[in-house]
Structure 1
Amino acid sequence: MRSRVSDSESEGTGSFEFDSVVIGGGAAGLTASGICANFGAKTMMIEKHKLGGDCTWTGCVPSKVLLKAGKVAQQVRDAGKYGLIDGEPKIDFKKVIKHVDDIRKEVYEDADRPEIFEDMGIVVVEGEASFLNAHTIEIKLPDGEKRKVTSRFFFIAAGGSAFVPPIEGIDTVDYLTNDSLFEVEDLPEELLIIGGGPIGTEMSQAFTNLGSKVTVIDMAEEIMMNDDPELTDILFEELKRQGVNYELGASVKSVSQNNGKVSVHIEVDGKEKTVAGDKLLMATGRKPNLAGLGLDEAGVEYTKKGITINNSCRTNKKNIYAIGDIASKYQFTHMSEHMAKIATSRAMLKIPMKMDLKHITWATFTSPEIAHVGATEKELNEKGEKFEVYRFPYSKIDRAITEGESVGMIKIFAKKFSGKILGASVVGAHAGEFISEYAVAMKNGVSLRNIADTIHPYPSWGLGARRAADQWYIRNQSAGTVKWIKRIFGYKGEIPDYSDPDRVV
């Protein structure tokens, strides 16, 4: 076996043990492995922990289960708004965490366990992979043995992990991250969260609803800085109403721990203060898992932000692709799957597919949810784009009213005359589902007029999407148009008042 195979040498000589090797068994790796196998490629997938990755074990799945438990507890407290009797839920947190673990295992057994992929013909290996050169890796197995493997193509899907900034005293504190949060067996009485992004915001609500006193600390003046500020204000007020406490615009100076209590020393408006609790969650972002991969030996370019790729997810080495959190600023499970599809299609079939960066969606699953697709209002304004903003409140969606979830807003950015959708943001119940409809519309050139003309069932949540699209028709009416119609048909009614450009009908 040759120790090195140059990029210029033929990839079709049959000199490689595998056609494709996937490093990492999270969302990106599982998707890539399955696609490669379905293309008839001899495929190996390597994972050093459990298949399923962050999403199944420490991210999407457990966090949503915990959020649901908290939401049910809050519904018991708010039962009066449904004509029932308000009550205080009895919470056994150990049972809640066991339920979280049971659901993780259920998802794993149904979708992630090795046998599923082995049945596809994929060789699944537990171990740590490191490149020796662009076509060869060395796998360190659990028993300490090492195995060399060569492959025609590699897909690096090693994911990301919690980033903890170098705050003074952080090494002396028993802090939590999303990697350890769902292993806690006792409900914190007072939970401090540094970070007001999606993870911090979701967990602040979950633990508040389950009975913890929660304080969120962030250096920004607002939470959820990547979302529409008009809509995050709605979410912010609702979270405060539910009991979440905030220290925003706060500079964290240091942290300390004494007698089981954690203290976060902050400065707000030039004044120093200390916030104390029994647990500290660091929700301060993510970092790519670059260490130990041997990227330098393979000649793969990278920065501290991740592996450098083009729009087809290919690195500077033509046979090596990087997908998922290790190579993307959009660290979402659905983006990882999208990248896996692009990379495998490009590598294995030579189809020149590229990432769809114009229609990226995201959602944060608080109550109310907040979600987005496409360009933001800020981005459109910075580009000098001409567009209209169409708003539709949840208080006018009959289904939202009947279910007692009328807090929310649909906000669409679109062209005035064509109704072409440039972006959309939603805060409210089922916001992720609303955004999915707008994502399909944007991807396929469906305008607001097309949505408005499409029959939606009443009283569905989805009807709200059509009602919001109706506003395009309303906005394009004018007193002059109505006068013209009256004159032609001899109508005798009043001309509506069109003086308010933001009126909602």
Structure 2
Amino acid sequence: MEHVRTDLLVIGGGSGGLSVAAGAAQMGADVVLLEGHKMGGDCLNYGCVPSKALLASAKRAHSGQAVDFAAARDHVHEVIATIAPHDSVERFEGLGVRVIQDYGAFVSPTKVQAGSTRITARRIVIATGSSPLVPPIPGLDSVPYDTNETIFELREKPAHLLIIGGGPIGMEMAQAHRRLGCAVTVIEGAKALGKDDPEAAAVVLDALRAEGIAIEEDALASEIREQAGAIEIETKDGRVFKGSHLLLAVGRKPNIDRLNLNVAGIETTKAGIKVDASLKTSNRRVYAIGDVAGGLQFTHVAGYHAGIVIRSALFGLPAKAGTAHIPWATYTDPELAQVGLTEAEARERHGDRLDIARFDYAGNDRAIAEGKTMGFVKVMVVKGRPVGATIVGHQAGEHINLWALVLANKLKMSAVAGMVSPYPSLGEVNKRAAGAYFSPRLFASKGVKRVVGLVQRWLP
């Protein structure tokens, strides 16, 4: 048995864990990193990277290029292989991190066992991420199915892909496979893209239906079976859907089972490990970040959490994580992006104080020139300050960056209105949305007109 003492132990080599390990090591801390599976975690191997690579191949196919299904899968793995060295054991060892390729479990509040190594750490960061949730649907264990951890290994094109779950993962995979020549049916127990602004979600769903994707809502799966070589899904209301392949995309569960958290005095909830605003667990020497902390499940959130932990654990500085400025995007075509409050949330919180500023892509000259006029920008404003923004349309995931900056720095609409955008650019939709907020206040104001009239009479 080898005994190791370290300043910082990071459990999990996904996005958040790698960011903490790299930052801490380069700032002079002694760091040990545990990863029992693949470096890079879900994002690199099963999530953000492969899904966006597949969507890129599907977009080429949709534009008329001949794209073989197996070649699209090869592109996915080539992209992963290109990025993998950045997350590799070799790179992190080069940064001074000791990497142990094994799973870890607590044996005391400050000690973790990983294989034949016992690590004692001054501070510990749990960054073990999450895994696909497999719902307890009767009959599911009798049929073959995929999750995001296996779907990218398929090399033969599914004739008809059934997807249970109409969230971002389900809808992205639905469009990618449809554009690569598969029939696709999405089965959603409530509303597809139900966590997003309904008006914006409708734009995406209409576009996907127009491409031939069947999206069945209020369809709660009650039984799954295999009949004559086909997979059948029966819903609670008696509808039956048949297909050749099944993808589960119904959510995620925190990876905590191996950790032996009770020995360390670490409390959990159904969502994951319980943390405070500084991301500390009930064991004050242990932090939890990213998906396992039970909050927003996005790679960029894990990276944001890493910065909070570095400030707290390495420098002893007060640091708290917030969510009001965290953006997210669904990379369908058109894309759907959000930061801060949706319109419904803002109305509930702010009532009559809320103003809505809006601009449609159809009014943007670059969008007209490129035939990308579907969508809009909608900004929720309270006393001149944005509290949320929704964008649906071409490159919405890029355009939301501006509003994320605005919310993070508590800027006012005047800051965006005062920005000069190059013409013609799609990004001008944001400036025009800000202009739409001020226009009625300027052009419909009798006071403004009166002042202008007086000034004009007195000007030489």
Bin of the TM-score, shorter chain as denominator length: over 0.9
Equivalent in the alignment of 1:53: 41
Residue 428 of structure 1: CA displacement? Answer: 0.6
| Equivalent residue for 1:286, pick from 238, 243, 252 | 252
The Cα of 1:412 is off from its aligned counterpart by 0.2
Confirm whether residue 398 of structure 1 aligns to residue 365 of structure 2: yes
| Amino acid in the other structure paired with 1:105 | A
Aligned to 1:130: 105
Q: State the match for 2:81 in structure 1.
A: 105
Q: Letter of the 2:435 partner, please give it.
A: D
Query: Is 2:421 aligned against 1:433?
Result: no
Q: CA deviation at 1:259?
A: 4.2
CA distance, structure 1, for counterparts of residue 449 and residue 291 of structure 2? 57
1:265 paired to 2:250: no
**Pairwise CA distance, 1:251:** 2.1
Q: Residue 327 of structure 1: which of 275, 279, 293 is its match? A: 293
Distance 2:165 2:407 in 1: 32
Partner of 2:437: 472
Alpha-carbon deviation of 1:260?
A: 3.2
**1:163, 1:284 within 8 Å by CA — same for their partners in 2?**
yes
Q: Secondary structure of 2:384's partner? A: coil
1:48-90 alpha-carbon deviations (Å, 9 max, x no partner): 11110000000000000111111111122xxxxxxxxxxxx43
Aligned 1:19-98 pairs, distance under 5 A: 19-76=7-64, 89-98=65-74
C-alpha distance in 2, partners of 1:265/1:445? 49
Choose 1 or 2 for highest CA Rg.
1
Give the stretch that moved more between structures: 167-176 or 454-463.
Answer: 454-463
Q: How does 1:227-242 map to 2 (within 5 A)?
A: 227-242=196-211
1:402 Cα shift?
Answer: 1.5
CA distance in 2, matches of 1:16, 1:319: 17
Matches within 5 A, 1:363-402: 363-385=329-351, 386-402=353-369
1:115 has 2:58 as partner: no
C-alpha distance in structure 1 between counterparts of 2:274 and 2:288, whole Å = 8
TM superposition shift of 1:489? 5.2
Contact preservation (8 Å) 1:449, 1:472:
no
- Tell me the SS of whatever aligns to 1:225: coil
Look up the SS of the partner of 2:63 in the other structure. helix
1:397-430 Cα shifts (integer Å, max 9, x gaps) = 1111122111011000012xx4211100000111
Corresponding residue for residue 152 of structure 1? 122
Per-residue CA distance 1:220-271 (angstroms, 9 max, x = gap): 1x31111111111111111111111111111211001234311101144xxx
AA aligned to 2:37 is H
Question: Alpha-carbon deviation of 1:344?
Answer: 2.1
Number of matched pairs: 454
Q: Distance in 2 between matches of 1:135 and 1:473?
A: 56
Q: How far did residue 482 of structure 1 move?
A: 5.6
Cα deviation for residue 332 of structure 1 reads 0.1
1:173 aligns with 2:161: no
Distance in 2 (alpha carbons) for counterparts of 1:100 and 1:333: 18
1:303 partner amino acid:
T
1:381 match: secondary structure: helix
What's the CA shift for 1:467? 1.1
What is the alpha-carbon distance in structure 2 between the residues aligned to residue 94 and residue 452 of structure 1?
A: 47
- Note the alpha carbon deviations across 1:89-108, whole angstroms, 9 max, x for none: 43321111011001011111
Q: In the alignment, what sits opposite 1:447?
A: 412
Match of 2:377 among 401, 405, 410: 410
Distance 1:41 1:54 in 2: 26
Q: Which residue of 2 aligns with 1:143?
A: none
Measured in 1, the distance between the counterparts of 2:13 and 2:449 equals 65
Residue by residue over 1:421-455, the C-alpha shift from the partner in whole angstroms, topping out at 9 and shown as x without a partner, is 11000001111121110111122232111211111
Unpaired runs of 5+ residues, structure 2, are none
- Give me the whole-angstrom Cα distance separating, in 1, the residues matched to 2:294 and 2:277: 11
Residue in structure 1 matched with residue 178 of structure 2 by the alignment: 208
Q: Which ranges of structure 1 fall in alignment gaps of 5 or more residues? A: 2-14, 77-88, 141-145, 492-505
| CA distance in 2: counterparts of 1:407 and 1:394, whole angstroms | 6
The Cα shift of 1:185 comes to 0.9
Give the aligned partner of residue 325 of structure 2: 359
What SS does structure 2 have at the residue aligned with 1:103?
helix
Cα 1:157/1:359, change in 2 over 3 Å: same
Compute the TM-score of the two structures, normalised by the length of structure 2: 0.96
Runs of 4 or more consecutive aligned structure 1 residues displaced over 3 Å after TM superposition: none
Question: How far 1:276 sits from its partner (Å)?
Answer: 0.5
Output the CA distance in 1 between the equivalents of 2:392 and 2:188.
21
Distance 1:454 1:91, change over 3 A: closer
The separation in 1 between residues aligned to 2:58 and 2:6, in whole angstroms, is 47
Maintained 8 Å contact 1:314/1:320: yes
Q: What is the TM-score normalised by the length of structure 1? A: 0.87
- SS of match in other structure, 2:294: coil
Aligned-pair CA distance for 1:486:
6.0
Query: Which letter does structure 2 place at the counterpart of 1:413?
Result: M
Maintained 8 Å contact 2:358/2:437 = no
Provide the rounded CA distance (Å) in 2 between the counterparts of 1:207 and 1:306. Answer: 32
Q: Contact 1:16–1:152 at 8 Å: present in 2 too?
A: no
**In 2, are the aligned partners of 1:23 and 1:29 still within 8 Å (CA)?**
yes
Instruction: Say yes or no: does 1:254 pair with 2:254.
Output: no
Instruction: Measure, in 1, the Cα distance between the counterparts of 2:284 and 2:297.
Output: 24
Q: CA 1:273 to 1:490, structure 2 compared with 1: closer, same or farther past 3 Å? A: same
State the AA in 2 paired with 1:407. Answer: M
Aligned-residue RMSD, C-alpha? 1.6
Using the alignment, how far apart are the partners of 1:32 and 1:482 within structure 2?
53
Deviations 1:142-167 (A, max 9, x none): xxxx2211111110001100001100
